[in-house]
Amino acid sequence: MILSFSVVWFKGSRATSRNTPTVGKLSLVDKLIHDIIIAMIGQFKKKISAYIGLFADWLAVEKGYSPHTVSNYCRDIREFASFIDDDCLPADIGQDIVKNYICSLNKVNKPTSVARKLSAMQTFFGLLIQEREISRNPMIGVVRPKQGHYIPVFLTVDEVFRLVDAPGANDTYASRDKAVLEILYSTGMRVSELSGLNISALDFETEMVRIMGKGNKERLAPVGAPALDAVRRYLPQRQLLLRQRLERGRQTDTKPIFVNGRGSRLTSRSVERLVKLYGQRAGIISRVTPHSLRHSYATHLLEMGADLRMVQELLGHASLSTTQKYTHLTVDHLMEVYDKAHPMATGSIK
């Protein structure tokens, strides 16, 4: 509508500007009006990168995604925006552009990374359709790369014991670090969930913890006695760190259960670093991460006979198929069950 009005205005201006100085075939007035119209059109035709701020807000507020996920999705869209032509608008993007982009991704990325980037694009274009910036999602009908079967890395029970005992007297934050390791293994929570955990979420009487998971979905999980004892031993150090921060005149948040040396909330990156450090100290060959403790939690529950549906609830999985990847049991455990249950296991029929 604005564009139509501007074109009429532009045409009418020529009838009233015959005596105005000209530049080429356009008068100076016409040239000014022409530039204004182009600028007005440009305001309504934004490039992909112009929507990333809106995308980030939508993911955080409407979808309830974690800051880590929002950051990853926005980075994926920026990467796609840098791949396409500078003058390419959202409405100009078709399957041919998307397929060329996928080919470029496959050369330097793992299938799982490509799948995540395409998921970000699918979500992004879905938002543009919702905002009526485009009429069709260019991701529809695009064949996604096949992903191999992923078997989670998990620790044995003995390795977990060595890991949680790794913090020693010479470590400045030994009590905190041991509590972190115990809580991760006792509850199977994600590292982002542990970083965002508040002291009010842990109930020492009922031995339960309230976890805020993906999409702001809340769940309850039991906490083992060793983990609760570790947290109790850590709490005096937590109080000291918070008091020292307050004495320095810094704004102090007393909600986080786990804090760093400056008295502020312990970040996911810091948790990952300390888990890696103690994994190496414990002499564990495989790479130890907070997520491998989550894998170990699920695997050990299933080995002890826990129901798959129960494990799904404890882990906060929306789909049972996600939990089924933990049904890989160790060969020793399978052989043990076989020896006890199969009538032909010992070579004789009873």
Per the annotation, the verdict on 294 as an active-site residue is yes
157-337 is classed CATH 1.10.20.10: no
Residue 89: predicted pLDDT: 82
Question: d(Cα 344, Cα 312) in Å, to the nearest integer?
Answer: 34
Average pLDDT over every residue of 125-151: 79
Rg of the chain in Å (alpha carbons): 29
Tokens of 48: 């992909």
Model confidence at 15, in pLDDT bands (50, 70, 90)?
very low
Question: d(Cα 217, Cα 210) in Å, to the nearest integer?
Answer: 10
Model confidence at 256, in pLDDT bands (50, 70, 90)?
very high
Q: What is the CATH number that goes with domain 48-130?
A: 1.10.150
Are the C-beta atoms of residues 141 and 118 closer than 8 Å to each other?
A: no
Residue-wise pLDDT tens digits, 263-293: 999 999 999 999 999 999 999 988 899 999 9
Residue 333: predicted pLDDT: 57
Residue 84: predicted pLDDT: 86
Per the annotation, the verdict on 317 as an active-site residue is yes
Q: Give the chain's mean pLDDT.
A: 81
Residue 174: predicted pLDDT: 95
Q: Does the pLDDT of residue 18 top 60, yes or no?
A: no
Q: Which of 294, 295, 297, 300 is catalytic?
A: 294
Question: d(Cα 266, Cα 194) in Å, to the nearest integer?
Answer: 9
Lowest mean pLDDT among 38-42, 123-127, 318-322: 38-42
Per the annotation, the verdict on 214 as an active-site residue is yes
Residue-wise pLDDT tens digits, 84-114: 876 778 888 888 888 889 889 888 888 888 8
Per the annotation, the verdict on 176 as an active-site residue is no
Tokens of 261: 């040396």
Residue 224: predicted pLDDT: 93
Q: How much is the pTM?
A: 0.64
Q: Which of 214, 233, 276, 333 is catalytic?
A: 214
Q: Which of 210, 265, 291, 325 is catalytic?
A: 291
Q: Which of 176, 190, 295, 300 is catalytic?
A: 190
137 vs 10 pLDDT, higher one? 137
Q: Tokens 């991760």 label which residue? A: 184
Residue 14: predicted pLDDT: 46
CA distances from 333 to 105, 153, 285, 339 (A): 40, 16, 21, 10
Lowest mean pLDDT among 35-44, 97-106, 230-239, 328-337: 35-44
Per the annotation, the verdict on 291 as an active-site residue is yes
Q: Does the pLDDT of residue 20 top 90, yes or no?
A: no
CA distances from 112 to 59, 72, 109, 277, 290 (A): 21, 14, 8, 26, 19
Average pLDDT over every residue of 6-31: 50
Are the C-beta atoms of residues 104 and 93 closer than 8 Å to each other?
A: no
Q: Cα 128 to the chain's mean position, in Å?
A: 21
Residue-wise pLDDT tens digits, 161-199: 999 999 998 999 999 999 999 999 999 999 999 999 999
Domain boundary assignment for the chain: 2-44, 48-130, 157-337
173 vs 342 pLDDT, higher one? 173
Lowest mean pLDDT among 63-67, 201-205, 207-211: 63-67
